[in-house]
Structure 1
Amino acid sequence: MQTLKGPGLFISQFIDSSAPFNSLDGLAAWAAMLGFKALQIPCHHPHIFDLNKAAESKAYCDEISGKLAEHGLVISELSTHLEGQLVAVHPAYDLAFNDFAPEALRHDASARQEWAVNALKKAAKASSHLGLSAHATFSGALAWPYFYPWPPRKESLIKAAFDELAARWRPILDEFDKYGVDVCYELHPGEDLHDGVSFERFLAAVDNHPRCNILYDPSHLRLQHIDYVGFIDAYHQRIKAFHVKDAEFTTSNKSGVYGGYQAWIERAGRFRSLGDGDINFPAIFSKLAQYDYPGWAVLEWECCLKESEQGAREGAQFIRNHIIPVAQRAFDDFAVTDDSDATARKMLGL
């Protein structure tokens, strides 16, 4: 058994135009001061982390690793959530996601998709240069506009969507496989991979590809009323990344899981800072320890109420308090007795 690593911090929500949040060195110094041990780094901020350079140059990656090491930090994973989103965009969301792509490629869906695929492939090589074993991303979505079956569900529609999604991702998965890096899809409403069943369908469509894995985030499962602890029992072999994020669901007489188009603060289901929601983290950390989860516990801070720096400060300590240093021996070893076949047969009266 091994003790999971942490606390890590996904820095995407903290990058800003003002110091210390406008440079990797500033973010690293700040995160280390709060007690974080690793950063999960997004790939769409070249002034923080230049993906093109990282894919081309191991020397650049060594420089980045060295800069973080000066603060006692490492990289947990790279993230291509925005790029992954652009691998598959339904036309209904074309304008909504345009700003995720470079300005020159906006309004050209084909060029935008090609750029996204190439970015993912670059992230595979960059991850290898950095010595990483897992990568965080989104799947994108073709079927999502039809998630609620009205008009009645059409199996041919869903099959075509997942077949196409698999065809787009298969070359990317193969590229990650070449570099020995797992692709960890964050299961998230708005993505075609948003729960266990949709992940299983995609996994089958890519022939159980060994690099097709899960970024486990209990908050998204909680707001869908999924058994997020039992989820670990079902999928622990594919869970290779972990966002520690809290949420709450308060039953309302006016709205439910779809939120009524309201702002986050008004919804029945809301994201909260760690410890302020209703996620059962002791059970989650116990399950992950039980199944020998090999990766990092990474804070993703999202809260509709609390200030972000306070959430990060409290979150680092929260994760430290929940990591279970796993036992290296059984608690009842002191009482071990003879375990030979002969003794066993005598005890059974044989």
Structure 2
Amino acid sequence: MRTIKGPGIFLTQFIGGKPPFNSLDGLAGWAAGKGYRALQIPCHHPHIFDVEQAADSQSYCDDIAGKLAEYGLVISELSTHLEGQLVAVSPIYSDAFDHFAPAEVRGNDAARRAWAIQKVQQAAVASARLGLTAHATFSGSLAWPFFYPWPPHNEQRFQDAFRELANRWRPVLDTFDEQGVDICFELHPGEDLHDGATFERFLQLLDNHPRCNILYDPSHMLLQQLDYLSFIDIYHSRINAFHVKDAEFRPNGRSGVYGGYQPWINRAGRFRSLGDGQIDFKGIFSKLTQYDYEGWAVLEWECCMKDGDTGASEGSEFIRRHIIPLSAHAFDDFAAGGKGD
């Protein structure tokens, strides 16, 4: 067993147009001031981190690492959640997701997909240059529009969708394998990979690809009413990234898991700041420690009520309290017999 690394913080929800949130230096100083030790950095803000340049230049990566080191920080993972989403977009969602891509490929599914694949592959090379071992992303969604199918279940539709999903991701996973980096899919409603069953189906079609892994985020599992502790027992060997995010599920007479198209504040399932929700983080940190999780505990802050700066401050201390420092010896060593006994 080993002690989980942390706390880290995912920057996506905090990047903005005003200081300190509009530059890597500003964000690093802000995060370090709250006690964070690592940043999970998205790849869709070139003024914060230029993934194309990082893939092309070791000196750029060294400069980034050196800059963060001045604040006592490292990078936990890079993230291509938005780019990963564009690897596989159902035609139903094409217009909705088009703005995630640059203007020159919008409205052209093939060009947009090629751009997205290139960006994720650049992130693989950049991760290796930075000495990282894991990467965070989304799978995209070809089957999701039919997640609760009517007309009734059409197995061929799902076979075709997952076969195509695997075909699109296999060369990307091969690139990550060449670079010695695990790609960790965040299991998330809206993505084809959203629970254990869908991950298994995908993994099987990829012949158990060694770089196909999981970003574990219990908030999405709670909102699906999935047993997120048993999930660790089943899939711990594939969990190589961890978002520490809280949530609550309080069903009522008007809506449940699906949310009723309501604002987050009115939904039965809601994301909350760490400690304000229902998730058993003591159980999670215990199980991940038991199973020798090697990665970082990274705050992803989303809350329907609390201010983000407050959530980030509280989140750093919350993660620190839940990390289990491993003992150098067993508690009952005192009772063991000596060599002369």
For 1:35-73, what per-residue CA distance to the aligned partner results, in whole angstroms no more than 9, with x for missing partners?
A: 000000000000000011000001000000000000000
Deviation beyond 6 Å, 4+ runs, structure 1: none
| Letter of the structure 2 residue corresponding to residue 92 of structure 1 | I
* Structure 1 Cα separation of the partners of residues 7 and 227 of structure 2: 24
* Structure 1 Cα separation of the partners of residues 238 and 332 of structure 2: 31
3-state secondary structure, aligned to 1:200:
helix
3-state secondary structure, aligned to 1:214:
strand
For 1:243-279, what per-residue CA distance to the aligned partner results, in whole angstroms no more than 9, with x for missing partners?
A: 0000000121110000000000000000000000000
Using the aligned pairs only, state the percent identity.
68
| Letter of the structure 2 residue corresponding to residue 186 of structure 1 | E
| Letter of the structure 1 residue corresponding to residue 250 of structure 2 | T
**Residue equivalent to 1:346:** none
**Residue equivalent to 2:103:** 103
* Structure 2 Cα separation of the partners of residues 310 and 210 of structure 1: 39
2:178 matches 1:195: no
| Letter of the structure 2 residue corresponding to residue 18 of structure 1 | K
User: Shift of the alpha carbon at 1:338?
Assistant: 7.5
| Letter of the structure 2 residue corresponding to residue 82 of structure 1 | L
* Structure 1 Cα separation of the partners of residues 337 and 154 of structure 2: 62
* Structure 1 Cα separation of the partners of residues 205 and 162 of structure 2: 7
2:37 matches 1:32: no
CA RMSD of aligned residues (A): 1.2
* Structure 2 Cα separation of the partners of residues 17 and 149 of structure 1: 41
What TM-score does the superposition give when structure 1 sets the normalisation length? Answer: 0.96
* Structure 1 Cα separation of the partners of residues 81 and 280 of structure 2: 26
**Residue equivalent to 2:223:** 223
| Letter of the structure 1 residue corresponding to residue 122 of structure 2 | K
2:308 matches 1:308: yes
* Structure 2 Cα separation of the partners of residues 111 and 325 of structure 1: 48
3-state secondary structure, aligned to 1:320:
helix
**Residue equivalent to 2:137:** 137
**Residue equivalent to 1:176:** 176
User: Shift of the alpha carbon at 1:335?
Assistant: 1.4
For 1:107-143, what per-residue CA distance to the aligned partner results, in whole angstroms no more than 9, with x for missing partners?
A: 1110000000011110000000000000000000000
**Residue equivalent to 2:11:** 11
* Structure 1 Cα separation of the partners of residues 328 and 143 of structure 2: 46
* Structure 2 Cα separation of the partners of residues 200 and 326 of structure 1: 32
Deviates more, 1:208-217 or 1:327-336: 327-336
For 1:170-216, what per-residue CA distance to the aligned partner results, in whole angstroms no more than 9, with x for missing partners?
A: 00000000010000000000000000000000000100000000000
| Letter of the structure 1 residue corresponding to residue 335 of structure 2 | A
* Structure 1 Cα separation of the partners of residues 135 and 304 of structure 2: 27
* Structure 1 Cα separation of the partners of residues 251 and 174 of structure 2: 44
* Structure 2 Cα separation of the partners of residues 121 and 77 of structure 1: 14
2:312 matches 1:317: no
3-state secondary structure, aligned to 1:13:
coil
Count residues with an aligned counterpart.
341
For 1:50-106, what per-residue CA distance to the aligned partner results, in whole angstroms no more than 9, with x for missing partners?
A: 011000001000000000000000000000000000000000000000011011111
Gaps of 5+ in 2: none
Gaps of 5+ in 1: 344-350
2:243 matches 1:274: no
**Residue equivalent to 1:163:** 163
What TM-score does the superposition give when structure 2 sets the normalisation length? Answer: 0.99
| Letter of the structure 1 residue corresponding to residue 179 of structure 2 | Y
* Structure 2 Cα separation of the partners of residues 70 and 248 of structure 1: 38
* Structure 1 Cα separation of the partners of residues 127 and 39 of structure 2: 13
* Structure 2 Cα separation of the partners of residues 106 and 277 of structure 1: 38
Of structures 1 and 2, the larger Rg is shown by 1
**Residue equivalent to 1:255:** 255
| Letter of the structure 2 residue corresponding to residue 249 of structure 1 | F
